[in-house]
């Protein structure tokens, strides 16, 4: 069984589930999902710049309205449960948790504890962070000790 640590920021869409569950062909896959809620480490200004760069002006204007910190915990738990069930419905083993500590430290610990084969970071594009190699995938490549694959998540509109 192939073990993947999957870091997400939003609930998986059906397109995301199909994408990550078919990466390894017919080999069985077990997922350990780490849900990164919006929190203090996420910069509202950087998210707004990303929204503008992607032509999503309405989203940029509403960045400050998104729950963050402790208020983001309940939506993150619901998103995690939805994602775990979607992976299980696709025939995969899936467990997970909401990340409360520093995400890279948690990711490294989970990789070591589970002896994971890879890390998949499934995220929306973060152009400013990616340009400076400060995104989760770039930073994880220097920390976790297994291959790190960065994939772009699909929005709910695209997945529908």
DSSP 59-81: HHHTGGGS--GGGGHHHHHHHHH
Q: What is the predicted pLDDT for the residue at 68? A: 54
Q: What is the predicted pLDDT for the residue at 151? A: 81
Q: What is the predicted pLDDT for the residue at 45? A: 46
Q: What is the predicted pLDDT for the residue at 159? A: 41
Q: What is the predicted pLDDT for the residue at 29? A: 93
Domain 2-152 sits in CATH at: 3.40.50.620
Q: What is the predicted pLDDT for the residue at 41? A: 45
Per-residue pLDDT 10s for the chain (160 aa) are 999 999 998 899 999 999 999 999 888 899 999 998 765 444 544 455 445 555 554 554 444 445 455 666 788 899 999 999 999 999 999 999 999 878 888 999 999 999 999 999 888 765 555 554 456 677 787 788 898 888 877 765 444 4
Rounded CA gap, 78 and 160, in Å? 19
Q: What is the predicted pLDDT for the residue at 128? A: 52
What residue ranges do the domains of the chain occupy? 2-152
- Its pTM stands at 0.75
Select from 86, 96, 88 the least CA-distant residue to 29. Answer: 88
Q: How far is CA 132 from CA 96, 111, 124, in A?
A: 29, 25, 16
Q: What is the predicted pLDDT for the residue at 70? A: 62
Q: What is the predicted pLDDT for the residue at 43? A: 55
């Amino acid at each position: 069984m192939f073990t993947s640590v999957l870091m997400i920021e939003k609930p998986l869409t059906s397109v995301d589930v199909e994408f990550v569950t078919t990466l390894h062909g017919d080999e069985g896959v077990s997922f350990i999902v780490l849900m990164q809620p919006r929190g203090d480490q996420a910069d509202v200004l950087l998210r707004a710049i990303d929204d503008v760069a992607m032509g999503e002006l309405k989203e940029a204007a509403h960045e400050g309205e998104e729950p963050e910190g402790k208020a983001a915990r309940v939506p993150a738990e619901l998103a995690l449960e939805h994602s775990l069930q979607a992976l299980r419905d696709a025939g995969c083993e899936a467990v997970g948790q909401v990340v409360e500590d520093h995400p890279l430290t948690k990711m490294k610990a989970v990789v070591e504890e589970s002896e994971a084969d890879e890390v998949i970071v499934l995220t929306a594009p973060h152009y400013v962070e990616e340009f400076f190699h400060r995104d989760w995938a770039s930073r994880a490549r220097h920390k976790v000790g297994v291959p790190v694959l960065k994939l772009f998540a699909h929005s709910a509109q695209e997945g529908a």
